[in-house]
């Protein structure tokens, strides 16, 4: 829990846990399929951050305020996705600013980057940066950022990709506000990696390890063994997972943790106990035409 920490403390502390807030009515309404949370999950796993929660919420000020405050209190590293565009329903900046009693400020460096790196849309042939217009107002809305005037501004606005004008607004020390567009989200998240590595439990960013074991045996048959195994390895911080693959002849057992040497020592035992084999990628040992486990009863 991080609730007692100041924003400056939150921005520097070791990162153990992470949380994600996906913001958008279009996701909740089924119009848009969220891929950003999956990308973040893989990012966190690779770096050894424990992603504890992913929430999808609407473009609603009260929802955003509540989620932002709670996530900032509960997790070391928080990422939001969506709601920072130029239209009326893009309210993430203003909502998160309100959550922490901050004002929005037009960010001068972001404006200069926007002028330099953004291209005018074909539908706006007469657009000019020095001429007031609805289009200009809409563009400037995307760089009116929550700023805590009592803190160093440089730690609150990050530029992590020289080819993008889009800033990462960092609020309350640990909330990182990213766009919902997957290409931008992914590039900006990747761009943060060098800044995050020194704050990880393992500064080398070796991350968490996952071992996959494929088994032709039904889950119910191996459930008792897996329960015993999970209890045995829990003190070492290792989790045991069992995943049915419907329509396939083999299910999957996973070992997930940081102690790679210990995990490797378990492979032969686990494979023998579930009558399985180790694999590198899910489905690599599938054989076309084999009856699936459901058909086998």
Strand-by-strand arrangement of the 209-215 sheet: 239-243, 251-257, 209-215, 277-279
pTM: 0.84
pLDDT at 2: 44
Average pLDDT of span 71-76: 98
pLDDT beyond 60 at 87: yes
Query: Which residue spans within 24-152 are E strands per DSSP?
Result: 50-57, 77-81, 103-106, 144-147
Residue 3, pLDDT score = 52
Average pLDDT for the chain: 92
Going from the C-alpha of 257 to that of each of 12, 46, 54, 76, 207, the distances in angstroms are: 25, 11, 20, 20, 9
Looking at residue 208, what is its pLDDT?
Answer: 87
Q: What number is the average pLDDT over the span 214-231? A: 94
291 pLDDT above the threshold of 70: no
pLDDT of residue 281: 87
Task: State the pLDDT confidence band at 297, using cuts at 50, 70 and 90.
Answer: very low
Cβ neighbours, 10 Å, residue 283: 12
Percent of the residues in the chain that have a pLDDT greater than 70, as a whole number: 95
Distance CA 7, CA 171 (A): 8
C-alpha distances out from residue 95 to 14, 99, 172, Å: 27, 6, 13
- Asked whether residue 292 carries a pLDDT value surpassing 70, the answer given is no
With a cut of 90, say whether residue 30 has pLDDT above it: yes
CB 73 within 8 A of CB 2: yes
Confidence of residue 249 (pLDDT cuts 50, 70, 90): confident
The span from the CA of 16 to the CA of 39, in Å, is: 18
The total number of residues written for the chain in this structure: 297
pLDDT at 40 > cutoff 80:
yes
pLDDT for position 295: 43
**Residue 205 reports pLDDT greater than 90:** no
Phi and psi at residue 146, in whole multiples of 5°? -70, 120
Q: Which tokens go with 165?
A: 């004008």
Residues 6+ apart with CB under 8 A from 152: none
pLDDT at 296: 46
**Do residues 81 and 37 lie in contact, with contact meaning Cβ atoms separated by under 8 Å?**
yes
CA dist., res. 113 & res. 282, Å (int): 43
Question: By percentage, how much of the chain surpasses pLDDT 90?
Answer: 84
Q: What pLDDT, on the 0 to 100 scale, is given for residue 146? A: 98
Pairing verdict, β 209-215 and 103-106: unpaired
Q: 149-153, 182-186, 197-201, 283-287: which has the minimum mean pLDDT?
A: 283-287
Mean pLDDT of 64-73: 98
pLDDT at 180: 97
| pLDDT value for 116 | 94
Any long-range contacts for 191-198 (C-beta under 8 Å, 24+ apart)? 191/160, 191/161, 192/158, 192/160, 192/168, 193/43, 193/47, 195/158, 195/160, 196/15, 196/47, 196/77, 197/47
């Amino acid at each position: 829990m991080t609730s007692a920490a100041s924003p400056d403390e939150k921005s520097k502390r070791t990162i153990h846990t992470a949380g994600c807030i996906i913001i958008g009515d279009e996701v909740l309404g089924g119009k848009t399929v969220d891929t950003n949370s999956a990308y973040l999950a893989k990012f966190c796993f690779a770096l050894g951050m424990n992603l504890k929660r992913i929430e999808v919420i609407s473009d609603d000020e009260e929802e955003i305020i509540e989620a932002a405050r709670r996530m900032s209190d509960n997790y070391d590293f928080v990422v939001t996705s969506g709601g920072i565009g130029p239209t009326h329903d893009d309210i993430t900046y203003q909502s998160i600013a309100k959550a922490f009693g901050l004002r929005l400020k037009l960010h001068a460096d972001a404006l200069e980057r926007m002028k330099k790196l953004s291209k005018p849309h074909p539908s706006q042939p007469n657009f000019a940066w020095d001429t007031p217009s609805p289009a200009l107002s809409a563009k400037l809305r995307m760089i009116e950022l929550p700023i805590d005037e009592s803190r160093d501004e440089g730690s609150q606005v990050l530029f992590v990709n020289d080819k993008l004008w889009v800033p990462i607004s960092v609020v309350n020390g640990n909330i990182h506000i990213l766009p919902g567009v997957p290409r931008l989200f992914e590039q900006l998240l990747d761009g943060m990696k060098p800044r995050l590595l020194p704050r990880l439990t393992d500064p080398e960013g070796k991350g968490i390890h996952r071992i996959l074991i494929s088994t032709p045996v039904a889950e119910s048959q191996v459930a008792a063994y897996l329960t015993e195994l999970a209890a045995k390895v829990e003190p070492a911080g290792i989790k045991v997972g069992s995943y049915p693959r419907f329509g396939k002849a083999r299910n999957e057992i996973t070992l997930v943790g940081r102690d790679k040497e210990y995990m490797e020592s378990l492979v032969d035992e686990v494979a023998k106990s579930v009558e399985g084999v180790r694999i590198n990628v899910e489905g690599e040992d599938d054989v076309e035409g084999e009856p699936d486990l459901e058909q086998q009863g």
